[in-house]
């Protein structure tokens, strides 16, 4: 199995959402995310905290962040990973640039679709030049609306980004599909459109089970299906699928507890 390092960037993740040591987090624009983020102390005790008010990155800082991604990609390969997945989904820094709701910039990184996609492409080019396009994937989230991410232009923006990433010949796009109970479905039209503009592999993730995974693979609209939560409750998930063994139920109440409980303490299946 190949291992891919998922890069949210050194400025990604919490640093775009929470103050650290009194320093405001950074973002495309000084807009506070209507969201909370999980923070744990060194003992693993944690809580959900409101996101902080960020400050907007300057253009020279954006160039430094691109270099951070380049260095992170190089480090990942040196550390033995097979490739790098650029995290441009789920409200992380690159996704914030893609969305007109979180990106109010009036320079070359904001406004038009081309400008909002610019930061992603600069990161992708930097990472690709370090590790080679065939070792780069990009995670995107066109239909996610939670936590203030409901941008009316995101689908067109992501289709344009997919065209640009195709020209760069990146290996795959990974769709993080909406994964909560009443989430919007990904329309078939969008899946066909993505196939038309992107020649590489398509990975999908988000509430897939065995039947749904089989359906989308046989429809030809995805090449691979990624599973998240089923792997938590079933550490031997592939073996259970292969042998038709029953799947353990996943307990959502034990998430974000700060310890291994409910994450890595589910047992493997013991065949009778
Ligand atoms: C506990 C937990 C934490 C997650 N954290 C992140 C995260 O930090 N960033 C992210 O992009 N997705 C995150 N996800 C979403 C997963 O990457 C995946 O897209 C999602 O679980 C849908 O797949 P599934 O229905 O097979 O679980 C998280 C999911 C879970 C269950």
Is the minimum distance from the CB of 252 to ligand 1 under 6 angstroms? Answer: no
As a whole number of Å, the CA-based R_g of the chain is 19
Q: Give the Cα separation of 80 and 5 in Å (integer).
A: 9
Q: Which residue has the higher pLDDT, 173 or 49?
A: 173
Residue 272 Cα, ligand 1 centroid: separation in angstroms?
32
Residue 246 forms part of a structural domain: no
Query: What are the two backbone dihedrals, phi and then psi, of residue 39, each rounded to the nearest 5 degrees?
Result: -130, 130
CA 63 to centroid of ligand 1, rounded, Å: 29
Does residue 91 lie in a domain region?
yes
pLDDT at 181 over 60: yes
Q: Kindly state the average pLDDT of the residues 87-96.
A: 95
**Residue having the nearest C-alpha atom to atom 28 of ligand 1:** 228
Mean pLDDT calculated for residue range 107-114: 98
Rounded-to-integer distance, Cα 151 and Cα 145, Å? 7
Atom number, ligand 1, closest to the C-alpha of residue 141: 11
Could you tell me if the CB of 89 is within 6 A of ligand 1? yes
- The answer to whether residue 75 scores a pLDDT higher than 80 is yes
Q: Is residue 250 part of a domain?
A: no
Measure 227 CA to ligand 1 centroid, in angstroms: 9
In the set 4, 69, 92, 172, the catalytic residue is 92
CA distances from 232 to 39, 184, 219, 254 (A): 20, 24, 28, 11
d(Cα 208, Cα 99) in Å, to the nearest integer?
26
Report the distance separating Cα 179 and Cα 184, nearest Å: 9
- CATH of residue 205's domain is 3.20.20.70
For residue 172, tell me if it sits in a domain: yes
**What is the pairing mode between strands 46-50 and 36-40?**
antiparallel
Mutation pick for ligand 1 pocket among 224, 228, 241, 248 (CB with most ligand atoms within 8 Å): 228
Distance 147 CA to ligand 1 centre (A): 14
Q: How many domains does the chain have?
A: 1
Average pLDDT of span 15-41? 81
Rounded mean pLDDT, 168-190: 91
Read off the pLDDT band of 261 (50, 70, 90): confident
pLDDT at 6: 57
Q: What is the pLDDT of residue 4?
A: 61
> If you take atom 31 of ligand 1, which residue's CA is the nearest one?
229
Q: How far is the CA of 58 from the centre of ligand 1 (A)?
A: 30
- Please indicate whether residue 92 is annotated as part of the active site: yes
Evaluate: CB of 6 within 6 angstroms of ligand 1.
Answer: no
Domain range enclosing 212: 12-228
Asked whether residue 247 is domain-assigned, the answer is no
In this predicted structure, what is the pLDDT of residue 206?
Answer: 94
Lowest mean pLDDT among 20-24, 113-117, 224-228: 20-24
pLDDT over 90, % of the chain: 72
Q: What's the rounded mean pLDDT across residues 164-174?
A: 98
The whole-number average pLDDT for the span 130-153 is 92
Least-confidence region, from 45-59, 159-173, 202-216: 45-59
Position 32 in a domain = yes
* Nearest-CA residue for atom 10 of ligand 1: 90
Looking at every residue in the chain, the average pLDDT score rounds to: 90
Mean pLDDT, residues 212-237 = 96
Task: Flag whether 245 is in a domain.
Answer: no
Q: What is the pTM of this model?
A: 0.91
Whether 33 and 15 have beta carbons less than 8 Å apart is answered as no
Ligand 1 atom, smallest distance to 256 CA? 1
Q: Is residue 262 part of a domain?
A: no
User: CA distances (Å), 160 to each of 8, 79, 137, 190, 209, in order?
Assistant: 21, 33, 16, 12, 30
Q: How confident is the model at residue 170 (pLDDT cuts 50, 70, 90)?
A: very high
Give yes or no for residue 7 having a pLDDT over 50.
Answer: no
pLDDT value at 87 more than 90: yes
Name which residue sits closest to atom 11 of ligand 1, judged by CA.
Answer: 90
- At 272 the pLDDT is 79
In this model, does residue 52 exceed pLDDT 80? yes
């Amino acid at each position: 199995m190949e291992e891919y390092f998922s890069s949210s960037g050194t400025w990604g993740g919490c640093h775009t959402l929470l103050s650290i040591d009194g320093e405001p987090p950074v973002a495309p624009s000084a807009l506070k995310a209507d969201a909370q983020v999980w923070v744990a102390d060194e003992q693993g005790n944690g809580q959900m905290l409101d996101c902080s008010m960020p400050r907007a990155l300057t253009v020279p800082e954006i160039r430094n962040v691109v270099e951070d991604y380049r260095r992170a990609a190089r480090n990942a390969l040196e550390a033995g990973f097979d490739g790098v997945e650029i995290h441009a989904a789920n409200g992380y820094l690159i996704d914030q640039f893609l969305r007109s709701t979180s990106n109010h910039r009036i320079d070359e990184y904001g406004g038009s679709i081309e400008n909002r996609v610019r930061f992603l492409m600069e990161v992708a080019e930097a990472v690709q030049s370090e590790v080679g396009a065939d070792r780069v994937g990009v995670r995107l989230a066109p239909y996610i609306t939670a936590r203030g991410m409901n941008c009316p232009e995101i689908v067109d923006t992501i289709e344009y980004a997919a065209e640009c990433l195709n020209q760069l010949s990146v290996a795959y796009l990974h769709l993080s599909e909406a994964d909560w109970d009443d989430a919007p479905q990904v329309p078939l039209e969008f899946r066909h459109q993505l196939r038309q503009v992107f020649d590489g592999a398509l990975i999908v993730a988000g509430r897939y089970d065995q039947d749904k995974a089989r359906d989308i693979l046989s429809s030809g609209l995805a090449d691979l299906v990624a599973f998240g939560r089923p792997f938590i409750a079933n550490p031997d998930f592939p073996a259970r699928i292969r042998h038709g063994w029953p799947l353990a139920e996943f307990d959502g109440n034990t998430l974000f507890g700060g310890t291994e409980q409910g994450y890595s303490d589910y047992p493997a299946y013991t065949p009778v």
